[in-house]
A and B are shown apart, each in its own frame.
Chain A
């Protein structure tokens, strides 16, 4: 049971995002990390590795800095690393990114794919289901628990009424939400081993994917609309005034 984990290397959640010209200023981001939900996907894969001997391949698509994300994944236990080299991910529309990732998954031989519910930069949630469609695979999104079930998997997903336990057979794609589980941290030995781990370098050509001709193209980035400064009140005795304003000014009560 081999698992491919898709990890995206993104600005750390504490990073200040600024726009210069009409693009997000990536050069101004000092700290990059594995996208938070992808860490839960990786954790789940490593859990399955422990319980059922799965081998875990971490796959990332992005510029050279993304290799650091692969090393971070190796340091906690990923067995093989694949880097699909793309200098500017924002130049590819969803069809192209998904085609690259699906091709890399297929050449890794994995029949199970774990990824994040949404990436921290795009906030989209398109990749898991899109890759599943390309692979002709089943997909469950927003998973918080996973286990093996016969030759397939069982998963817990949130629903509007609570949660559902579902089963699915392979090939399949699961996208992960944050869970209560504590993420493992790398130890010194893991970090040393990760430094030496080979990275399988791929690109669009080696994967046989045509990445030209995106039909959805970013024209500009901009800072979010500035909000007018709010009204400040001092002390609990002002609570009633605020409630009156919510009723009469904002008309929301």
Chain B
């Protein structure tokens, strides 16, 4: 099957999910072509093992993000068959538009993909899984960290096409993040606090631990709403879905809407004073303790590693 991958890129270059998409494509027996929007990350893409060729898709439309323009440009460079993109906000938008323009289905957030073609994906915020059988061409987005990354021994050829498209969304102003903290959706370790932290005045205890281990700070909806924290750090059904290797929940009860956003983390540590808190139901390591005692102990233990 012909497989085209839309590389996921950001200011720093190519995103690790790109090599994970290559693994998904290779598992279907494909030698994928990788398209690099705006020419970002071509050399890195060419060095991913299993990639047969890289196309640098260039055009003025790539100086800012307009999913419609990006999809139009990428569509003219992408082959038929299966198109893979990353299940990130921009990736999902481009994928949906590419599919609609081709008149083929789009399946978002795949955690599994098998020859045939069948796609596995979580629905209801992970409360159930869905298997979908596709007959014909389609566009699929791949959940970050659901597949292992392909190695980096490749040396695919790189070619360039120039395909701009009309931009209909004009960026007037970029507003920098209020804090320089890591994005919860991107970080390898996330430490989140909830109402059990007592008040916003105690939030710095959480941030100190986060800084110690390079973790992002997340929050339950209760504290985002009540303490006026930025919605961008809310984890859960109406916040972000995170899949870090380590998620530490402090003073969070584990409401079903919170679990929806973090239960697919690789390892979960929960610190809560109530041994019956539902968060312990998904924790790999549960610690029944007050945060007032547990966070200082955590700081000490981490600093002596």
* CB neighbours of B246 from chain A (8 A): 246, 250, 252-253
Q: How far is the CA of A236 from the CA of B289 in the complex (A)?
A: 6
Q: How far is the CA of A98 from the CA of B96 in the complex (A)?
A: 10
Min Cβ gap B26→A in Å is: 22
Instruction: Tell me which residues from 139 to 168 in chain A have a Cβ below 8 Å from any Cβ of chain B.
Output: 139-142, 144, 154, 156, 158-168
Looking at A123, A172, A222, A247, the one whose CB has the most chain B CB atoms below 10 A away is A123
Q: Cβ of B130 and Cβ of A243 under 8 Å apart?
A: no
Q: How far is the CA of A61 from the CA of B25 in the complex (A)?
A: 34
Residue of A nearest to B183 (CB): A160
What sequence of 0s and 1s flags, for each residue 201-243 of chain A, a beta carbon within 8 Å of any chain B beta carbon? 0000000000000111111111111010011111111111011
Q: Cβ of A230 and Cβ of B105 under 8 Å apart?
A: no
Q: Cβ of A224 and Cβ of B127 under 8 Å apart?
A: yes
Q: Which residues of A contact B (CB under 8 A)?
A: 11, 13-14, 16-17, 19, 24, 36-37, 93-95, 98, 120-134, 137-142, 144, 154, 156, 158-169, 172, 177-180, 214-225, 227, 230-240, 242-247, 250, 252-253
Partner of B231 from the list A125, A164, A169, A180 (CB cut-off 8 Å) is A180
Instruction: Tell me which residues from 202 to 216 in chain B have a Cβ below 8 Å from any Cβ of chain A.
Output: 213
Q: Cβ of A164 and Cβ of B186 under 8 Å apart?
A: no
Min Cβ gap A111→B in Å is: 13
Q: How far is the CA of A24 from the CA of B257 in the complex (A)?
A: 18
Min Cβ gap B119→A in Å is: 8
Instruction: Tell me which residues from 143 to 185 in chain B have a Cβ below 8 Å from any Cβ of chain A.
Output: 168-178, 183
Q: How far is the CA of A19 from the CA of B128 in the complex (A)?
A: 8
* CB neighbours of A93 from chain B (8 A): 105
Q: Cβ of B269 and Cβ of A215 under 8 Å apart?
A: no
Q: Cβ of A239 and Cβ of B297 under 8 Å apart?
A: yes
* A-B contacts, 24 listed (Cβ < 8 Å): A17-B127, A94-B99, A94-B107, A126-B106, A129-B93, A132-B68, A133-B97, A139-B68, A141-B89, A158-B89, A161-B11, A162-B174, A166-B172, A177-B231, A180-B228, A216-B119, A216-B133, A219-B131, A223-B128, A231-B285, A235-B293, A236-B287, A239-B297, A243-B305
